[in-house]
Amino acid sequence: MKETQTSIQDLALIGDRRTCAYVSKTGSVVWYSPRRFDAPSVFASLLDTEKGGCWKVDAPGLHFKHRYYHSDSTILCTILACDSGEVQVEDYMPIRAGFHGICRSFSEAPDHLMLTISPKPDYGRTILQIKQHPNGTVSINGKLFLQASHPLQVEQNDIVCEVPAGDKAWFVLSEQQISINEKVLKEARSTTLQAWQEVSSHITYEGPYEREVRNSLSVLQLMTFAENGGIVAAGTTSLPEVKGGQRNWDYRYVWLRDAAMISSALTRAGSDGDQERHFLSFICDAIHKVKEPVVPFFTLDKQPAPGENFLTHFTGYAASRPVRVGNNANCQLQLDAISNVLLSAKLIYNRFQTREHWNLIAHLADYLTEHWHEKDHGLWEETQRQHYTSSKVVAAVSLEYIAEHSQEEAQKKPWLKAASEIRAFVAEKCITSEGAYAAYPGAEAVDVSAILFPIWAYTEADAPEVLKTIEVLERDYCQHNLFRRHLVGFDARQEGAFLAGTFWVAQYWVMRHNWQKFKQVMQAALVFMNDVGLMPEEGDPIRGEYLGNIPQTFVHASLIGAVIDYKNAMKEASD
């Protein structure tokens, strides 16, 4: 049976905090990068159903019923129905098991099952070499090893296995050449479940939107590279912001801005600080390796991310091309990225009474002081450099906040002077003729990032400029309580609503104590959380389609921020 295109909203995620794999509702593994989040794929039918590679399951009349994660883990259980009954598929990536890869188990099959593994190493660019060993193991280019409870057969470029009706079955695709049996699998599942329970113990949440917040916390923990604390923006590349268009980016790197906002969300949600402090160490180690802090994102080995390459042989998701690996925004000046690291450090310092990595944090503050007046590429990584208002504002507040932790008057004086100059610049040049915050000086356009200004405590929630800003956003950038961003180099009306920005608006309404609007905006955004708790970068307000890479950790962090403020506001109101 030919593999059909899997919709973004139908994806589920498994991972081992090194890398991840995506599973469709019909049990197919449609994306998998062995060894590391940003490594080349061996399965990528998500981006090309013929040339990408896949691990699919088939049976007469097979269709999806429901799925869920086992508590506090990413062990995925999918219930599939076929003509003769139901079969349960359990998928996970083992942790602390002595091997890495993908483990799959099947309950007693009511009808015969056919599994077809079609590997395409290195995004399908490398010649495939499949070898069957005397013990039944099948190796893939000498780097991956497939074992199963039932005989494997090599048929040209595929590995197939038929499971008779009434049989249970298991499969392991491992990075290591190791002998697998049911006892090894049972131990692997046990250690994996225990590892996830330990990870989740670092933060617990009870309160409003509990299921949604817990889903988001699980996503953030899964998308963290456990070895060094780096948090990737997403586990996919080139899922389109515009279906059939060219805005398809590789998000499998550690963005300073995104990861700092994520770290801040975890701190405010009551984390014990382990993950956030690990992240701060990652960032500081990475920045030490570059001459200037103008690298907005890094690879998981703390190096500047590579520039773009196009996978021209892939058709792309929904014919959205080009398919990219690497990212050309890798050397942009983004003042907000640096500023958000300072904001994250400030939260950690306040909560845990520490000043760890102070020399590097002070260096970043000095850099902002010296360069705030320069045009940058902004929050949305525009090609055109501009004096983006959001970049200036977050630079000012981050300098003010981090100055509170300086113990030297001579050190913090220039930071506070620069912050004051930025405030004067914004007040003089960054207001539209209507009185709203402009996207940049001289513009009449407004961007949803401006609603963060009161959230950052740059200004009051009911300041005239903010009131006019929310009025313009609701008038010009809102559809069905979902908010679009403003882009300079592209007509943002062609893409979906920006879900992180929509959660920022919800968070703003908490500040205004407008609970009705808060709930309306939350409800609209949460339509784009799928059945296993994943949210994409964007959502189409009209068709309800998911757009962009998934799960977008930036979005999940923004959800957490909005809900934590709401929970705290409700508590204050009841006291």
Residues 447 and 529 in one domain: yes
**Are the C-beta atoms of 440 and 430 separated by less than 8 Å?**
yes
Residues 185 and 261 in one domain: no
In a domain, 1, yes or no: no
Residues 450 and 326 in one domain: yes
Last residue of a domain, one of 166, 198, 230: 198
Residues 137 and 219 in one domain: no
Within 372-514, where are the H helices? 389-403, 409-429, 452-455, 464-476, 499-511
Dist. CA 339–CA 345, nearest whole Å: 10
Q: What is the DSSP string of 367-381?
A: HHHHHTTS-B-TTTT
Q: What is the DSSP-derived secondary structure letter of residue 212?
A: H
Residues 244 and 316 in one domain: yes
**Would you say how long the chain is, in residues?**
575
| Terminal Cα-to-Cα distance of the chain (whole angstroms) | 61
- Could you read off the pLDDT of 434-455 as tens digits, one per residue? 999 999 999 999 999 999 999 9
Residues 137 and 226 in one domain: no
In a domain, 24, yes or no: yes
Last residue of a domain, one of 157, 181, 198: 198
Dist. CA 494–CA 28, nearest whole Å: 31
In a domain, 406, yes or no: yes
**Are the C-beta atoms of 532 and 68 separated by less than 8 Å?**
yes
- Phi, psi dihedral angles at 528 (to 5 degrees): -100, 20
Residues 279 and 173 in one domain: no
Output the CA–CA distances (angstroms, integers) from residue 472 to 380, 397, 414, 504, in the order listed: 20, 24, 35, 15
In a domain, 310, yes or no: yes
Q: What is the pLDDT of residue 485?
A: 98
Residues 334 and 391 in one domain: yes
247: nearest Cα among 487, 495, 540: 495
Output the CA–CA distances (angstroms, integers) from residue 123 to 127, 158, 224, in the order listed: 11, 16, 23
Residues 6+ apart with CB under 8 A from 108: 87, 166, 167, 168
Last residue of a domain, one of 180, 198, 216: 198
Residues 116 and 252 in one domain: no
Q: Number of structural domains, the chain?
A: 2
Dist. CA 91–CA 13, nearest whole Å: 9
Q: Name the pairing type of β-strands 230-231 and 224-225.
A: antiparallel
Output the CA–CA distances (angstroms, integers) from residue 569 to 62, 526, 552, in the order listed: 48, 20, 26
Q: What is the DSSP-derived secondary structure letter of residue 431?
A: B
Low-confidence ranges of the chain (pLDDT < 70): 1-2
Burial class (CB in 10 A: 0-12, 13-18, 19+), 244: exposed
Dist. CA 55–CA 529, nearest whole Å: 25
Q: Which domain holds residue 32?
A: 8-198
Quote the tokens at residue 72.
């506090």
Q: What region does 8 belong to: left with phi over 0, alpha with psi -120 to 50, or beta?
A: alpha
What's the CATH number where 83 sits? 2.70.98.50
Residues 156 and 298 in one domain: no
552: nearest Cα among 249, 294, 326: 249
Q: What is the DSSP-derived secondary structure letter of residue 315?
A: -
**Are the C-beta atoms of 238 and 575 separated by less than 8 Å?**
no
In a domain, 544, yes or no: yes
Q: What is the DSSP-derived secondary structure letter of residue 56?
A: E
42: nearest Cα among 101, 103, 113: 101
In a domain, 118, yes or no: yes
Helix, strand or coil, per DSSP, at residue 399: helix
Asked whether the bond before 551 is cis by omega within 30 degrees of 0, the reply is yes
Residues 248 and 216 in one domain: yes
138: nearest Cα among 241, 55, 60, 258: 55
- Could you read off the pLDDT of 69-78 as tens digits, one per residue? 998 899 999 9
556: nearest Cα among 485, 499, 496: 499
Distance of CA 92 to the CA centre of its chain: 19
26: nearest Cα among 103, 75, 91, 108: 91
In a domain, 15, yes or no: yes
> Using alpha carbons only, what angle is made at residue 306 by residues 290 and 440, rounded to the nearest 5 degrees?
75
Dist. CA 94–CA 97, nearest whole Å: 6
In a domain, 2, yes or no: no
Q: What is the pLDDT of residue 2?
A: 62
Residues 220 and 193 in one domain: no
> Using alpha carbons only, what angle is made at residue 334 by residues 331 and 336, rounded to the nearest 5 degrees?
150
Dist. CA 519–CA 253, nearest whole Å: 32
**Are the C-beta atoms of 152 and 132 separated by less than 8 Å?**
yes
What's the CATH number where 365 sits? 1.50.10.10
